[in-house]
Structure 1
């Protein structure tokens, strides 16, 4: 990919910022698509481009001028609670925006396009039983993407990362707890932190390891394939919270619910295809937690 052009959507998000920095240091021309001017901190070698992916003319103009060799589509909405409040917003941003981008890229069939989906999809059956609107949006997005690829024969690949963690402005459970811990250390929040269920388990991958996987998929992946990205290790929310509280400099109060394991959580994530291609997680779990805490202690709570 060196000296070629990579278009990254959702560049100002948690994963997008890491991706911009990673690919730019490899000597790749990175076009960072953002929705609002100045929403992306300056990154050497990265060219910001303001575009609303739900507006067809703006997307067509973007693709016509950039003519990307590779596309990493990270843009979208990803908050389960918010998806209950405004489900149509999730359908628009996670389905319509993706198809608008793919339609614009039909004029550049040589582009390798990686759509980043989610492990929080559900199995389409009769009747369908989505656990929440976010899952519905990502399930329909993946179905539409794979169908689009069959219809128009574009070079489209899909990645399904498990829960991403790591330093940066994430909205995941690890980041939320780290923010609470740091606020408590600074005397800003002495309330207890509630975990919905100590028993629910999750597979976590450091965002920096996920980006290594995206790089590999873009270069070596097979069009039409879906690539799960996971560590293969399940951790309960209770154990995660306990591990993070041990890193705190002040006592932290935890309130843990006792709801049973959610029936829709995928317990069978396998990354065999990626392992066969040479990928495996590089960053130890403990290091990820330390990096998250360091981020919020030095950057994440500025201005609060």
Structure 2
């Protein structure tokens, strides 16, 4: 029998791709998700697999898994601005209570745990590119602070368990990632631009468009996470694509890719929106032997083809998911 792994946030964008990866590598995978932002259609194809089982569960409550457990991947968190600005308390809870419960489970099972951190721990950075030894520039009380600080606390708690209990821990600082299974209107740059282009709308750029992002295709991201989990390195590692582009130039690329005639319109920049985002992946190259392989041109073509396959209802519906039924207190 293969090794057994728990993946939280299993029905989300990255979580579902991780489930695919570990099933394909011969692991017995337990997926867990409260479906507050995840979608069962992302893992429907796995439900017939004997090596995959799914639990609809909220990890901010006590987490128990029967039997042996070798690894835990904690990917249960809202990750897009439209989500964490609508459900700020739940975002903070999954980064505090959620990680506490999962670290406790890892300690009980003597399992190695990898947590999904984020480039947002760097905030609006004062150094460029961002390396793992940069401590960040984060507004703790701003609207984005609920996500940024949840992830920063999650890192602190993880390292405390590593140092105090000797727990095997890994920290992946994930930069902008894209690919199939992203939600079309979740507030992130790529699905927002592609959705607007497919609907014949002008592309919305916030600020003057000079702010930068670095986009990593999902297959590269999953491979980096996989290698980090199996490595012997416990400090944070940036996993992202260092190829930087301005948002304005990226919008022009989308217009060219989609062969549309939309204009670019400009709106005020949201509070604390980072002006630069580019990972220094020296550590990932040296320790994991990893770097991105999929070009933005190739990755965007695959992603665009995925979004083109959506139904008209999916294309035109607004992203106004009813979060109320998930909110306990």
TM-score normalised per structure 1 = 0.85
2:112 aligned partner: 112
1:9 aligned partner: 8
Q: In 1, Cα distance between the equivalents of 2:182 and 2:138?
A: 33
1:188 aligned partner: none
Out of 207, 210, 221, the position equivalent to 1:199 is 210
User: What residue ranges of structure 1 are gaps of 5+ in the alignment?
Assistant: 185-190
2:302 aligned partner: 291
CA separation of 1:227/1:257 partners in 2, compared to 1, >3 Å: closer, same or farther? same
CA separation of 1:263/1:52 partners in 2, compared to 1, >3 Å: closer, same or farther? closer
User: What residue ranges of structure 2 are gaps of 5+ in the alignment?
Assistant: 124-133, 316-329
2:21 aligned partner: 22
1:177 aligned partner: 193
1:232 partner SS: coil
2:260 aligned partner: 250
TM-score normalised per structure 2 = 0.79
Question: What's the CA shift for 1:52?
Answer: 1.4
Q: 1:125-274 counterparts in 2 under 5 A?
A: 129-130=139-140, 132-133=144-145, 134-170=147-183, 171=186, 172-184=188-200, 191-197=201-207, 198-223=209-234, 225-257=235-267, 264-265=274-275, 267=277, 269-274=279-284
Q: In 2, Cα distance between the equivalents of 1:298 and 1:263?
A: 31
CA separation of 1:162/1:303 partners in 2, compared to 1, >3 Å: closer, same or farther? closer
CA separation of 1:301/1:207 partners in 2, compared to 1, >3 Å: closer, same or farther? farther
Number of corresponding residues: 289
2:34 aligned partner: 35
2:54 aligned partner: 48
Q: In 1, Cα distance between the equivalents of 2:169 and 2:311?
A: 35
Cα shift readout 1:105-160 (whole Å, capped 9, x = no counterpart): 21112x111101001014799x9733522212212221222123222221011000
CA separation of 1:237/1:101 partners in 2, compared to 1, >3 Å: closer, same or farther? same
Q: In 1, Cα distance between the equivalents of 2:73 and 2:230?
A: 12
Q: In 1, Cα distance between the equivalents of 2:83 and 2:101?
A: 23
Q: In 2, Cα distance between the equivalents of 1:212 and 1:266?
A: 25
Cα shift readout 1:18-66 (whole Å, capped 9, x = no counterpart): 111122112221111122598242224432122210111xx12x2xx15
Cα shift readout 1:156-192 (whole Å, capped 9, x = no counterpart): 11000111111222432111211222233xxxxxx32
1:69 aligned partner: 70
CA contact (8 A) 2:59 2:98 kept: yes
CA contact (8 A) 1:168 1:300 kept: no
Q: In 2, Cα distance between the equivalents of 1:259 and 1:76?
A: 24
CA contact (8 A) 1:120 1:265 kept: no
CA separation of 1:66/1:237 partners in 2, compared to 1, >3 Å: closer, same or farther? farther
Query: Could you say what the CA RMSD is over the residues aligned between the two structures, in angstroms?
Result: 2.8
Q: In 2, Cα distance between the equivalents of 1:283 and 1:128?
A: 31
2:257 partner SS: coil
